[in-house]
Amino acid sequence: MKRIILTLAALAAFGLSASAQSKNFTLGKWVEVQNAILKELNRSYVDSLEVGRIQRAGVDAMLGALDPYTQYIPEEEQEDFQMMLTSTYGGVGALIYKPDVNGNVLINEPYEGSPAAKAGLRCGDEVTAIDGVSTHGLTSAESSERMRGKPGTTVVLSVKKLRSGDGWKAGDVIDVPVVRERIILPSMEYAGMLNERDGYIYLSKFTEGVGQDIRDAFEKLKAQGMQRLVLDLRGNGGGVMNEAVNIVSLFVPRGSVVVTAKGRRKATEQVYKTTSDPLDTQIPILVLVDSGSASASEIVSGALQDYDRATIAGTRTYGKGLVQSIRPLPYDGQLKVTTAKYYTPSGRCVQAIDYSHRNEDGSVGHIPDSLTQTFTTAHGRTVRDGGGITPDHTVKAHRYSRLTYSVVYSGILEQYALEYVRSHASIPALEDFHFTEYEDFIAFAKDKTFDYRSSARALFDEMKKSLAEDGLTEALSGELSALEKSLEMDKETFLRLKKEEIIPFIEEEIAVRYYFQQAGIQVRLRYDTQLREALGLPDVSTTANL
């Protein structure tokens, strides 16, 4: 028996060793093959070879075959990557707009309290030079790069002022020294009372320190009489996992499991628990989510749902249940690599079963119940895994027309807002401001180039192409002409038809030019039908067992 046991142990060890050797051989083989291919291409290829570009394309294709989130970050892209993680950079703190590479840079939106705002730069001011270098011929990205720099350093902007001010007249070009600062783009973009009962916090991403921001905002809202918290995570693509844990910690007892990360090996499993006493375990919470809510947003909404601590409303979340870690690479590069999947307190993995096939908006497609597992919340409600967090109440957002999307994404609203600022020195207080000059907007927009076809007309044009490919256009010419005529609508008529949809976007664009970014969110809340419907929903959460 002893001999048999020793023999089996030896065979097992040999098997493990053989497996490791096989993997090492395969890895070595393909490294050698790749190097041989590059050398041969470099020696024989008919055109000059950009080895760096080819190598980068190969690396990106290799990582892309794994999942959408494992990425190579070379040294030259480190700053942008860090900005994505921290939402900070050194600069003047203003969004710029450059409609023409041969024109000037326009100050579009200075951030409230930023160096640009403190230096007196306002929307509509034109930057003609940056540290003596003309902005003519510079792209928007090149202009932005010249404005950025180490905090504490000074950049001199030559500015053509839109309006008269201290010692200058409108149209004067003056040199404005601006001391760069560490610009922090807020992750918690707005906090305020919606009404006498409901406090509202809009969180756009999870960056370092945002948990403390939520804590501070919650206490201020509570002091203003808040009786229910609305936490808006719509469109929030995630960020730092620890901040998600910190936010959940505010509302559930100390020592509660928030999320578990499981990698390929059991030894790498990590359980993240709350480590501080909560602020409030009683106040009702309404969490708003949609198909853009991903990663850390799903950790927060999933944990609060599993503990029956919040009511989740909106539409199903994105379904990103993967954890990325940063690993150093040669030549100061980094590898952002997926190392684990995460699981909510009930045991759900919110990762979509197949993340390579999604709806057009990125959301998870239909997943049959037969492919998912059921789990239970703290109070016995059934929840499922397999593709994001399914809300307790499904509340769909307003669906905008194709024309409205076209107007918004074409930049026409942005251009019009700048024109509006040029002709309006001020607007009423935000609560009294309503855009009433829509005919003026139509006159502006009708001469701009954008796709103003209706969805039906766009489908008709695609159908005509298919009929032409099948050789059926001539046979159906009469019917096609009649249908085309019925779908025809000129640009002005269509813009008037969609007036009620477009006005809120115009109001938002104008408001931020006069009252900074938070004003845009306040305008957006005026027209948020999804939020209004969610506020009237019954509360499914309960605190009996907390």
Annotated catalytic residues are 295, 306, 320
The answer to whether residues 18 and 26 touch, using CB atoms and an 8 Å cutoff, is no
- DSSP-derived 3-state class of residue 71: strand
Sequence-distant (6+) residues with CB within 8 A of 147 are 91, 92, 94, 96, 130, 155, 157
- The helix/strand/coil state of 110 is strand
Cross-sheet strand order for the sheet of 188-193 = 188-193, 198-203, 228-232, 285-289, 311-314, 393-394
Question: Which residues lie below 8 Å from residue 412, measured CB to CB, with a gap of 6+?
Answer: 444, 445, 448, 450
Residue 256 near residue 309, CB atoms below 8 Å: no
Contact criterion met (CB below 8 Å) for 317 and 349: no
What is the distance, to the nearest Å, from the Cα of residue 151 to the centroid of all Cα atoms in its chain?
26
Chain Cα centroid distance, residue 187? 11
Collapsing DSSP to helix, strand or coil, 56 comes out as: helix
Give the rounded distance of the alpha carbon of 244 from its chain centre: 16
Rounded CA-CA distance 435/128 in Å is 31
Q: Which helix (H) or strand (E) holds 368?
A: none
**Nearest alpha-carbon partner for 306 in 261, 236, 248:** 248
DSSP state of 361: T
